[in-house]
Amino acid sequence: MTDYSTYSFWLETSGDDLTPRPGLAGSTEADVVVFGAGYTGLWTAYYLLKANPDLKVAVVEKEIVGFGASGRNGGWCSSKFPVTPGMLEHRYGREDARSLMLAMNDSVEEVARICQEERIDAQFHKGGILTLARGMHHLPMLRSACDAYSRLGLSQQYRLCSASEAQERVRVTNVCGALYASENASIHPGRLVRGLARAVERRGGVIYERTEVTDFEGGPSPRLLTSSGEVRARQAIVLAGESYLTRLAKLHRAVLPVYSLITLTEPLTAAQWAQIGWQNRESLASCNYTVDYLTRTADGRILFGSRGAPYRLGSKISDQQDRHAQTHARIQQMLLEWFPTLKGVRFTHAWGGPVGMPRDWMPMTRFDPATKIATARGYTGQGVSTTNLASRILAELISGKRTELSQLPIAQRRSPYWEREPLRWLAVRYMQNAFLRIDEAGKQGKAKPMDSSLAEFLGRH
């Protein structure tokens, strides 16, 4: 039997029994049938059942609840959206961009509300995010983000901090300034996803674990196909597998699985914390292209996550990719550069998982009444709260009881597919490499590499 507690510290400490629930045994039917028991699938099931307690909802999961990104992430439950505010304004105009940002704020609060309502102890802590400029070259990026938020009328929740203000919050080396964003929390991802599954079951939802969906069909008789039978849907099938959707032939190019890896320290001593500060437990980020994110966990450890593990040809996803020695070593090295007083600290856990990148960086939620296929995906590593928003929209689209949420720019849209291989591999590996080189040049105070404009243009979001 697979020991699921080894997949992340969060699953190990979820406080829940990880023994798999019974799998599907023969074909069956429900009103709504969901692929994947991560946040998207479970939030969608939850809101559908809350709106209509008589509905029959079945969730089909290949491994166990929270096996995917939902049980492995960095714990940021944040109003940060995968697309920058400036780009949102450019694409959708000020009003729609602002509505989306406000809906993201509300999603953070909604996660807290439901945790309280359903008695899920997800260790919700609203400490905000501090994005640190580690070098003068990062300051323009922070100023431009702050300006964009101000144009959207959100200046009360974003504030530029001087180097000394930032240092008062947390003592990280080489900090020249920071952007503080208040509407953000950190959570225990494992407790959230496992607790959410229990809430879905209390409302009558059925979760089949260790049951692999191999294909799906839409139309008059929509269904998920598995080796143990098919699950037919009277109302809708929901494809909620984020990166894992790429394993289905029909959705192979829908998102790009890019690995983000995490390393975790042992709990720090009171003396170590006294040297570092970080009393408010803000989520911390760098301005690097490798997307570095840090969390001070409720039990006093430092979680440091970053990208960098190489993309594999054919959008491969495998357990082996959860651990990439070179990337984990780079992350541990970075942690010691940020906090040199921690020299000699013990790293107790290392894991990782795929984030799903859509071709236009923009998450989508979509329900087609003709095919009865619904989907929400493409959160690019910002899914903890975005899945909540996307799922509420999806539940509205499926039930037909629409509110202003269904008018948001992520509703009823479609992202283009990624290029075919080997072009996809060539482009992604080039960008991964270019971003590492740009970050490294900035760190050493050198000019950006010659090709940085091309890489930045390709990665513009």
Ligand X SMILES: Cc1cc2nc3c(=O)[nH]c(=O)nc-3n(C[C@H](O)[C@H](O)[C@H](O)COP(=O)(O)OP(=O)(O)OC[C@H]3O[C@@H](n4cnc5c(N)ncnc54)[C@H](O)[C@@H]3O)c2cc1C
Per CB under 6 A, residues contacting ligand X are 35-41, 60-63, 67-70, 72-76, 78, 212-213, 240-244, 247, 260, 262, 293, 305, 352-355, 379, 381-384, 387
**Shortest distance (Å) from residue 76 CB to ligand X:** 3
Nearer to ligand X (CB atom), residue 137 or residue 170: 170
Q: What is the dihedral of CA 230, 235, 240, 246, to 10 degrees?
A: 60
Nearer to ligand X (CB atom), residue 48 or residue 355: 355
Nearer to ligand X (CB atom), residue 128 or residue 352: 352
**Shortest distance (Å) from residue 16 CB to ligand X:** 14
Judge contact between 171 and 284, C-beta under 8 A: no
Q: Quote the CA–CA distance of 446 and 440 in Å, as a whole number.
A: 8
Q: What is the DSSP string of 185-197?
A: EE--HHHHHHHHH
Q: Quote the CA–CA distance of 33 and 11 in Å, as a whole number.
A: 25
Nearer to ligand X (CB atom), residue 137 or residue 217: 217
**Shortest distance (Å) from residue 456 CB to ligand X:** 23
Nearer to ligand X (CB atom), residue 228 or residue 272: 228
Q: Quote the CA–CA distance of 321 and 351 in Å, as a whole number.
A: 9
The β-bridge partners of 132 are: 178
**Shortest distance (Å) from residue 52 CB to ligand X:** 21
Nearer to ligand X (CB atom), residue 115 or residue 137: 115
Q: What is the dihedral of CA 396, 103, 61, 119, to 10 degrees?
A: -100
Give which of 5, 76, 82 is closest to 296, Cα–Cα: 76
**Shortest distance (Å) from residue 386 CB to ligand X:** 6
Nearer to ligand X (CB atom), residue 354 or residue 442: 354
CB-based contacts of 222-226 (< 8 A; 24+ apart in sequence): 222/33, 222/371, 222/372, 222/373, 223/33, 224/33, 224/35, 224/60, 226/24, 226/60
**Shortest distance (Å) from residue 63 CB to ligand X:** 4
**Tokens 């992350």 sit on residue:** 331
Type of residue numbered 297: T
**Shortest distance (Å) from residue 18 CB to ligand X:** 13
Q: Quote the CA–CA distance of 311 and 432 in Å, as a whole number.
A: 8
Q: Quote the CA–CA distance of 278 and 170 in Å, as a whole number.
A: 4
**Shortest distance (Å) from residue 47 CB to ligand X:** 14
Nearer to ligand X (CB atom), residue 107 or residue 137: 107
Q: Quote the CA–CA distance of 351 and 347 in Å, as a whole number.
A: 12
Residue with the CB atom nearest ligand X in the bound state: 383
